[in-house]
Structure 1
Amino acid sequence: MPLSDTGIRASKPREKAYKVADEKGLFLLVNPGGSRLWRLKYRIDGKEKLMALGAYPDVGLKDARDKRDEARKLIAAGIDPAQKKKSDEAEAKERATNTFELVACEWHENVKGEWIEKHAVRTMKLFERDLFPFIGGKPINEIKPRELLECLRRVEKRGTLSTAHRLLTQCGQVFRYGVASDRCERDTAADLRDALVKKPQVEHFAAITDPKRVGELMRMIDAYQGTAIVSAALKLSPMLFVRPGELRIAEWSEMNLDAAVWELPAKKMKMRNPHVVPLPAQAVAILRELHEMTGHGKHVFPSWGGDKRPMSSNTVRVALRAMGVTAEEMTAHGFRAMARTILDEVLGFRVDLIEHQLAHNVVDPNGRAYNRTAFLVERRDMMQRWADYLDKLKAGAEVIALERGAA
């Protein structure tokens, strides 16, 4: 006789487990502990097998019969329902562990060591705001170009075109990482290279590169009436032409004034490579004087609120504006372009030496990156001659270009 709900409720635990049959191979296994489990007995390829269909009452009689009927259809087609169930569960588990969000987070964890911390944090925040809520939960291999484009369109509508293009580039890196780690088959982002409304214009940092005007700027910096700490930062910015962020977070432990070198650790560098800045005599003199004021603490340029933090990222920019230098004329980052242009076009130094000093990636003829001390003697000479040249411009001396390769 087929089972009924009344009969199921009447089945009480016994000393040993026993079966209560329904029909077509379905039965209820009643265990001594009181659990009642649905089981389906069937044969496939001449072998008798058993399949679990759930526990009563979570799976009622009607649901158990529906599952049985679905399994019997598979059996009739020559498919083992128990094996298919295992395959489906494995596929579901794989899908859950290969979502775009999980792959993107894994990619980010692998590459963030090559970035400065600020860039790594900003990148993850963009993903969390603009991508994960919409496609983060989907298996990366199932994301269509249209779905990714919709995310980027939302960013475009906010008016942040450069962010949309940056996200597209980073999504391409995530997809290619997914391909390399066998989580997806292709880079979906590649289909969208020309899909965004328009590409952002590259904005170059404003910089003064005419030697005569550079001399005027040096005289303005020399006459600056602000604090001694900000004045020192202003004077060192054109002389050392490091990135503004690298200068403001400089620490005394990195400075060797006796050897006239500043050694920046890899974690502070944009390219994540350690860097050496030879200090010209003028820079050493400025730093020795500054050491008397801030040398008791960690930071070379501490915040006005105390030494626990370095000075603000806006300090040099604000000082330039206070002196009457507009954003269209000069930015804090523009000191690098100023040095790059004049060292090459006016003073005739080798481009590879300049690139080394700018902490750009420079490779040898075999494609290998030079180490941080490469051409240190030549760079030390270049830095001293650059500081001397700035002094001459400040004094109003005549500008004389050297012959190419004279350095």
Structure 2
Amino acid sequence: MPLTDKECRNAKPTGADYQLSDGGGLSLVVRAKGTKLWRYEGRLEGRKIKFSIGNYPEYGLAEARKLLEAVRVLIQKGRHPEEALEYADAKRMILEGRALAEVDEANEQKAKAVTAEEEAAARAQRMTFAEAASRYKAEWVDHNWKHPDKGFSPARLHLLPKLGDMALEDIDVPAIRDLLLDVRERRGVQAALHAHGWASRILDYAAEHLWCKHNPAKLIKPARIGTKGKRTRWLKAHEIRRYLVGLYQADCYRGYKLALHLLLMLALRKNELVSANWSEFDLEAGEWLIPAGRMKARREHRVFLPKQAIEMLQELKRLGGGSEWVMPMPSNKLRPMHGNNLNGAHAAAITAAAIEDCTIHDHRHTASTHLREMGHMPEVVEAALSHAIPGIAGVYAHAQYKEQRLAMLQSWADFLDLIMNEKTVLQATFRKIA
């Protein structure tokens, strides 16, 4: 006989488990300790199964019978009711009064979603590093980097040749570590650190999009690859001579040659020159005031110009064709050029001079070293380089050392002319005719 609500409510523990049948395989089990639960007993593909539908009184008699219908639907489709994905949702939907057909349709949609996720996971396992790198560049780098192709070059040069064809799931820490150590051996610490940064970015993006499970590059600390360190490279006198001769003999725009010579002469950073506006100059007074916003230290910097620098700036003004910028873009006089425009001329000069490991920024180290060797006061040298000077001397450095700085830079410009115009090179002012 079917149970009644009163029988369910009044069923008492007897010291041993017993059950009251409601028919159709549904029973109320009364435990020895007094707890009660609904149980289904039946067969699935010929096998006897038992399944706990839910606790009483959390689920009353009417609710238990509704849940029994959901269980039967699953069994008819050959599915065990304990499949949490289906039964948990079915239980909720049945109790909300939704039709069994709707419950079954929802279960099928869930099953399809699971299959789709499994297929996506299988596809992800087949994605290669090259594919992930290409998507990262197209979807992020190209939209957010000012110079995406140039920025991406470490990945293209150092990562793709060895990792490109590997599936993301096959890339592990030893593979990344061995690659980075090889780059360090061949190209130096800086190149290896750049390669590590790009490997980490690409694999982070891949993990974020579930193309791989984790990022092995993150487990490699940059410090284990090496540290950048502070550069101390400076050119000796004979190297300066070879550099300047190679520079002026290079097949490139005249303005690039003058700019690189000025950077060496005035010990400036390249962006301080290429972004300069003529409004900053008083060529008659021989002074140039660089605004604080364009200085690394965020304080204005006054440059006292030797006569050679004034001549070269006047020539740059003629080359600029009326532009307000000292170094306008060749293709657009209304905009200043980028500092990287000078890299090609510098590379040509050091190649012609057979000089290794020298960057444009090393011109500052070169000037600083030679000026100290010439006997100029360290405070004057530091003021010319716009370095912070400790103590009270730093407060008045720009005004206090005006005459000394001009005399120092004039002697340095004369020195550069002297070593460049040796008779073995050319019996004339080489800079003016090359």
Find the structure with the greater CA-based Rg. 2
Question: Which one has a larger percent helix, Structure 1 or Structure 2?
Answer: 2
Identify the structure with bigger relative contact order (alpha carbons < 8 Å, sequence gap 6+): 1
